A and B are shown apart, each in its own frame.
Chain A
Amino acid sequence: GNSVTQMEGPVTLSEEAFLTINCTYTATGYPSLFWYVQYPGEGLQLLLKATKADDKGSNKGFEATYRKETTSFHLEKGSVQVSDSAVYFCALGTGNQFYFGTGTSLTVIP
């Protein structure tokens, strides 16, 4: 079947620290992979996407590479800011269905 597993939170980092949030997936076929971000009191916003193996998605300093050999799509950012504090969701899309991880809460302290 299809599923997404992402690292448990919460994660607390100091400003300008390096961020990694791990995400692995199980899928049949050839899924697309996404990272969504949810700021407090809001819905989910698409952060970045990758549609095939070895694709790198990037946006706002965040990056993730679609690794088929390790079935992973880890989110990274070289220097986090306080404004990056949010919940991050890894997701897989296949057919007309989407599968989400449980979310990782990130708090960045000044």
Chain B
Amino acid sequence: DVKVTQSSRYLVKRTGEKVFLECVQDMDHENMFWYRQDPGLGLRLIYFSYDVKMKEKGDIPEGYSVSREKKERFSLILESASTNQTSMYLCASSFQTGTPIVPLHFGNGTRLTVT
């Protein structure tokens, strides 16, 4: 079974802090994604990566950055946390896909509260 592991289930941080959310997958997937999930808004894509050291902006990249130094690890960084970044953060991974599209595999999520 694919395992996508997010390092923390719950985090509480203060406004202005630099926050690191870590995600590791064990299936040698090329693609990795960071989403945030908010009530009524569904999942919104923050950043994604198709390969080591590659990154692409998603729909809501402002206030975030990412790092992918190794294939199995994809980190989301909040440079200066703000209260509007309080959310559930979900990491996902998949193989490079052709046709048909292969599904995403998700971690259990990190619920971040910024006070």
A residues apposed to B, CB below 8 Å: 30-32, 34, 36, 41-46, 49, 51-52, 89, 91, 93-96, 98, 100-103
Contacts and interface: CB of A to CB of B under 8 A. Distances in A.
Contacts of A44: 43, 90, 92, 104, 106
Contacts of A34: 103
Given A43-B4, A93-B101, 11 more contacts: A32-B100, A32-B101, A43-B90, A44-B43, A52-B100, A89-B43, A94-B101, A98-B104, A100-B42, A100-B43, A103-B42
Given A100-B42, A101-B42, A93 B50 contact: no
Contacts of B50: 96
Contact of A93 (B43, B45, B97, B109): B97
Contact of A96 (B40, B43, B97, B109): B97
18 contacts: A30-B99, A32-B103, A41-B9, A43-B4, A43-B90, A43-B107, A44-B43, A44-B90, A44-B104, A51-B100, A91-B104, A93-B97, A96-B31, A96-B50, A96-B97, A98-B104, A100-B42, A102-B41
B108 interface: yes
A96 to B, nearest CB: 6
Interface residues of B, number: 28
B4 to A, nearest CB: 8
A32 to B, nearest CB: 4
Contacts of B4: 43
Interface in B70-115: 90, 92, 94, 96-97, 99-109
A66 to B, nearest CB: 11
Contact of A43 (B45, B101, B102, B106): B106
